[in-house]
Amino acid sequence: YIMIALRLCRRSFGSVSKGYLLGSHGWSHAHMTQLSAAQMHQQLELVENAMVKILGVKPKIFRPPYGEYNDLLLQVLAERGYIAVILWNEDTQDSFEPPPSTSQIIENYKTYPGGSIVLNHEVLA
């Protein structure tokens, strides 16, 4: 799924030089705080290698799955050259059961302040 997503990014956005900032989210959506340092490194390395191969860039920002992070993860990220952990301030709740309708999500977007970082998930139609 990561490889498909990266190929779609390349197709959709072309070059990162257009100003898009791409980050890492880990390889398998693991609860990073439950992993050892070695396992964290592996999660990050797999994504980094794929991004370099497909997009020609190594990520410098990280959005942890589930928004979970701890001191060990921050240390591992720093060792790998990451400069920021990015979280969100608005949630579409599209991962909830039952998920909101598309029209509900669009209406919610209209209420978010400018500059919001919105949590969205890919869905299968």
Closest to 123 (Cα-Cα) out of 99, 107, 89, 90: 99
**CATH architecture of the domain with range 2-87:** Alpha-Beta Barrel (3.20)
Residue 25's SS3 state is coil
Q: What does the pLDDT look like over 22-71, one tens digit per residue?
A: 789 999 999 999 999 999 999 999 999 988 888 888 999 999 999 999 99
The domain ranges of the chain are 2-87, 89-125
Q: What does the pLDDT look like over 28-40, one tens digit per residue?
A: 999 999 999 999 9
pTM, to two decimals: 0.79
